[in-house]
Structure 1
Amino acid sequence: MFWLVAGALLLAAAVALVLGVRRGRAVEAPALQDLQVYRDQLAEIERDLARGVIATEEATRLKTEVSRRILETDRLTRQAGGAGETRGPGGTLLIGFIVLLLAGSVALYWHLGAPGYPDMPLTARLAQAEELHRSRPDQAAAEADAPRPPAVQAEPEFLDLMAKLRATVAQRPQDIQGRRLLAQNEARLGDFKAAYTAQRQVIDLLGDKATAEDHAGLAELLIFAAGGYVAPEAEAELSKALALDPQNGTARYYAGLMFAQLGRADRAFVLWRDLLEGSPADAPWMPVLRARIGEIADKAGVRYTPPGAGVKGPDAAALQAAAGMGAGDRAAMIEGMVQQLSDRLGSAGGSPEEWAQLINALGVLGRKDEAAEQWAAAQAAYAGQDGALATIGAAAQAAGVAP
């Protein structure tokens, strides 16, 4: 319906403009104006003669003179070649300009608009997001609908240690550290419900001493258990974390995720942009932010180029594949990515951001000797370029291979 109405309006505007150009450009020749005056004079002479105002001889003489002028004017008109004249630019040029103008308006809408989308007034969208926020499923419903995570293959020795840890924690109701370890290791096994139960017990035992990181960690485990969905229970923990520490990166990331899920890309973008620009390169949320910030910016109607946009990192498919891997397979995948980046920089070179990414990754993996080698190679590649060396040097310092 939109395109039918828009097409009809476009056609009507084009027809009106073309007709206006054609009609407005035909101007009456001066000779035609003279002819009309002479015809009026002949009619006036006939009326005067009928009323007896002038004599017959005078009327004949006047009509002869006027008729002579009419014949002369008619001769001049034929010589001019027509009854009208064209002024200004050619009509074809103006019509072409009108077509170009109308086509440009369609192209501009195609680039800036959203072809195929229904009407989405801001008030209705905000109301819809608010209703979705108010009535969205709770944690239990989300867990029931969440896909079951793949089973994590663990060594028998680790499973034996986990059995002993569970038994020990059960016997020590006030053991905060034991419950912290239990939450971390249950998450490693993929049992996020057991993990967030243990983390919640940690917070209950700590009371007012619970930190922002404690609440953010509980929110993260709740989100993992719900298959990546931010339920009201997880939102409550995020709010507590941000109240204690507004700069908590984990809470800011998941708060942005919640707004993205609610259709508030504008709020998600602000949170994620500030987090992306203010976080160290090796922060755990950075790969996902780099992969999704462009999509969120588009939905928010913002043109945004993230820092280090030229860095080639894992794509969305690789991130999704990594999320379903066991710890060993995930580590192998990361090792492979780091090796590919290292090989490419060694053979073809790269941007300062790519060198920084590689040195950061090697530092996180504990391969400081290789990080030091890459720092030396980067210094040689960017000798004399202070800006580039500052970017790479910050990563080298974070990896512990530069003063």
Structure 2
Amino acid sequence: MIWALFLGLAALALAPLGFALFRPVRTTGRREADLALYRAQLAELDRDRAAGRLEEAAHRAATLEVQRRLLTAPDSAAPAHASRGAAALAAFLFLIPAGSFGLYLWRGHPDIPAAPFQERQEAAARDDVLLTQLRARLEQTPPNTEAARQGWILLGNAERGRGRTEAAVEAWNRALASRFDPVLAAELAQLHLETENADAASALLVRALAEAPGEPRLRYLAGLAEAQAGRNANARSTWRALLADAPADAPWRELVERRLQDLP
């Protein structure tokens, strides 16, 4: 019975793939796809201008750039490989469940019972005991040593992983009191922002930026703290300066631009 259930779940998971295999193939030329994309970009620019997220000069420049790409879009149609694509999909429809079933027979352990709630509670209690012991040991360690600092960082990581924000903040503050580190300050500032404590985050970020003024993550978090505190003009100038200094291929550029657009 359980194997029939597994097969049914596998068929349900692969249904979208089967639909893609058997539906009629529609060949779209490259120019047609480019035109649709560029028209969508123009419509998005118009919406941004209407909402006040884009200035008139910036809208005009961006529109001209999209129109230039529209005019230079290639006219050649992309070759279709429908038969090879269908064959590959058909192979996957068979190979994915067969390979998964074989891997489960080889490495799986179907007879292992699920961990009951009581066992999970007991494991959590053991973790609490270990963390309490670690905290007591750190309290006896000289505070300005590297061993104490690393211990408080480890304890903060464990507490954050367990969702105990206040305990993680306390532990990381003890580590920063031993020796200030901009990287750890960024972690703690982000934790403050997650709990909507923008003032504490800003104080940390000011000190961290004094030591590492060019660090992109610190500058991004500084803008986020300003936005969370309602200082939108400060957030906007912080993020614009970050984008001005960022390389064109920075992987986080799109995130910052999106944050800028979302500012009221």
Alignment TM-score, normalising by the size of structure 1: 0.30
Highest relative contact order (Cα 8 Å, sep 6+), 1 or 2? 2
Higher Cα Rg: structure 1 or 2?
Answer: 1
